[in-house]
Structure 1
């Protein structure tokens, strides 16, 4: 493993001051890839194919991740403290343990609601530490190469995800109840990865605590930092459409009522493996663009292919066009993931990164809890095709707003060296 690190570092020139964090984050990324392989996309397929579950239960799984994001504002207030690692590690460990419990409990009592309930809790805990992780990356990775280094980790993350997802899909095609073996594997590897995360030595920053309640602090920032509030609003429109349409895609490719009725392997390929595999080819590219231009200047570009993806789903009548749509989406997904993780750094003062990220994740969670159910509701009231068109319309509106916003945006995350006199305090 150590020789692999050296080859990667030499090839991508990971800065020396990022090496120790990168070494542990690399292993953590591998474990998170396997955890993602048990995400709502795969679990939704299991629900539809193994349990013949309702659309509501699939939507519930997709909303659960966002429940953790909604409440992550309460971990965000600890993101600049010396013991911040506890708030990153503990939610991870709980989530991984719940993955194992999912298999044990449903092996004894095979029930769709039991499967859904335990996994919902696991997904919620899994996303609870997002603001703290962002703060760690801000303090431990240098500004000039953060996007590139995180892009390397995300590439490894997605390699692990693609391989694991495909293997799990094959296992489920052999027997739909093989999920009782899938989730213990995910949980155990996830616990190992969490321990690697815990080994990261946090670089000290100015520790701040807000005297106000987290929600009041968030509202104060949104009221006083107008550019940040506006961008969060524009992002929310696009994010709502994406979160609404994700479970709709799973329902479309797996439910026999819509004619495709994909197998486990085909469904997992369509909704997760293909876009994630294509992402591997573009992480380095988008990481360099983010380091050079910033998230805000290129975010609208990352909206275009997902919009085309949704339009192609509208026209799709077989898996060939769906596979092509997923391929197109994968080209921009790497940049979308990096930009989601890094965007607040272009607005937040260094000592408030965790709180700003907490606002971002809270707003993501708020729309993410509602959006999947709106998608399921629209299928029943307006039809599958109109649901895809509605989502595409929201994406276009958001993209136009982001183009206008980016024209005048000034980054706050680039540290400008002080004059010598200023460094001396003159």
Structure 2
């Protein structure tokens, strides 16, 4: 028996309406609504600015924009793309500094200042020269922008923990991540379309730049310089997002500051890298989790700059075709997959969660390997979709996983350890990927870099499975405490 088309349309509308309504502040308890509404509005603006430091997007933009510019070489640009790919994680190396800086201070004000600084980095990219020096200046601004954004990420964890109870925190983090993912994908799509428009002679974009007669834009490269118009606009959206976030209020700010100061004692020096090792030495369970996370994450970080290079060199992809794979499809799929992952994570320890979730990245790496070897763009797109599903689960575990080990007053410190070690692997994994790419490229075997990435992810995933069986007591204790806490809220 067929379903009435009108009824089918109505059902689809109801599902869509219910999904959208779940993001509205009224879907939460009254005490949570005001801060959530402000954060939601801020995270509607910020992802637009973050396009300017998005590693997946900026690797492609840098490579295509500066190819054949004065003084540039393929190997030099590949290294610059590797730097962009590593920028996120290298910036995270400053997490311990930001953790110390935020101790005992107004965290919301600090976040706002860091948002403004990051936005200014994005705006400054419009001024880099059209040369090899300009390519490296752009890569450096992406890196500096991520140093500031690392402070936002590190400090934000404490704001979330103070403002949102555990029973709501995962759901709220998922909602904000979903909004950020969708806006990010839309922003990258618009930027890609604009850059493709600028990249063709006699379009409105090139005519606009030509008529502006900007002194440092040379006529022979004018079709590669649309970023000079686009990036200042991205920066303005970042400043708007920062102004909205300034209205967020941190519950118990004074009490939290006192507790942080009393528990930190004399270890508040912002130049104390040994703090990372002391936390890992004291908490064996967290140390084992971080080791597996380190190996598993290296595979993911290794893939992205190589993907940008192969899309351009092997597929001759346009801005849109390249960014569709690296920075549009993955985030657009995240909101669809986040509810599934959020439900899974809310009911289990992060070790149990990672033992399931981490295999998604193995599949993504194998898709990229197969698509690149066969030169089949659709398989690359499939790998991008799988990667998006993996990112959806990863963003939750990345932001909240450390809280399964840390006490409330240790939240920032544990998050700092987690973030800084992400930076350590990010300091070498993208460069390793680019080095393998350059080494294998002369023989036409550069696609097998994705095989190395899949292997690393597999080793990390197996490590989580081993932890799942070796740390049963820890997981059982956490599950009991979590059930009791959820029942009392």
TM-score, scaled relative to structure 2: 0.79
1:318 equivalent to 2:333? Answer no
Larger radius of gyration: 2
RMSD across aligned positions (CA) = 2.5
Match of 1:289 in 2: 344
Matched residue SS, 1:81: coil
Contact 1:99 1:184 in 2 (8 A): yes
d(CA) in 1 for partners of 2:468 and 2:156?
A: 26
d(CA) in 1 for partners of 2:50 and 2:376?
A: 26
d(CA) in 2 for partners of 1:415 and 1:203?
A: 24
d(CA) in 1 for partners of 2:414 and 2:103?
A: 11
Q: Residues 334-349 of structure 1: matches in 2 within 5 Å?
A: 334-349=392-407
Which of 371, 384, 406 is matched with 2:446 structurally? 384
Match of 1:20 in 2: 34
Contact 1:222 1:229 in 2 (8 A): yes
Contact 1:29 1:156 in 2 (8 A): yes
Structure 1 unaligned regions, length at least 5: 421-426
Which of 387, 396, 399 is matched with 2:458 structurally? 396
Structure 2 unaligned regions, length at least 5: 1-17, 199-223
Match of 1:354 in 2: 412
Give, in angstroms, the shift of residue 269 of structure 1: 0.2
Match of 1:96 in 2: 119
1:173 equivalent to 2:196? Answer yes
Contact 2:66 2:131 in 1 (8 A): no
d(CA) in 1 for partners of 2:106 and 2:325?
A: 41
Contact 1:18 1:142 in 2 (8 A): no
d(CA) in 1 for partners of 2:369 and 2:485?
A: 51
Q: Which shifted more, 398-407 or 352-361?
A: 398-407
Contact 2:25 2:33 in 1 (8 A): no
Contact 2:108 2:249 in 1 (8 A): no
Contact 1:241 1:371 in 2 (8 A): yes
Query: Which whole-Å deviations, capped at 9, do the CAs of 1:255-307 have from their partners, x for residues lacking one?
Result: 2xx2x110101000011111111112112222222212243221222212221
d(CA) in 2 for partners of 1:62 and 1:109?
A: 18
Contact 1:378 1:384 in 2 (8 A): yes
Which of 51, 63, 74 is matched with 1:48 structurally? 63
Give, in angstroms, the shift of residue 109 of structure 1: 10
Give, in angstroms, the shift of residue 7 of structure 1: 4.2
d(CA) in 1 for partners of 2:311 and 2:113?
A: 36
Matched residue SS, 1:280: helix
Q: Which shifted more, 173-182 or 396-405?
A: 173-182
Q: Which shifted more, 162-171 or 191-200?
A: 191-200
Query: Which whole-Å deviations, capped at 9, do the CAs of 1:42-93 have from their partners, x for residues lacking one?
Result: 1111121110162101001122222221011011124452422233222221
Q: Which shifted more, 169-178 or 288-297?
A: 288-297
d(CA) in 2 for partners of 1:126 and 1:10?
A: 26
TM-score, scaled relative to structure 1: 0.90
Matched residue SS, 2:190: helix
Give, in angstroms, the shift of residue 167 of structure 1: 0.7
Match of 1:280 in 2: 335
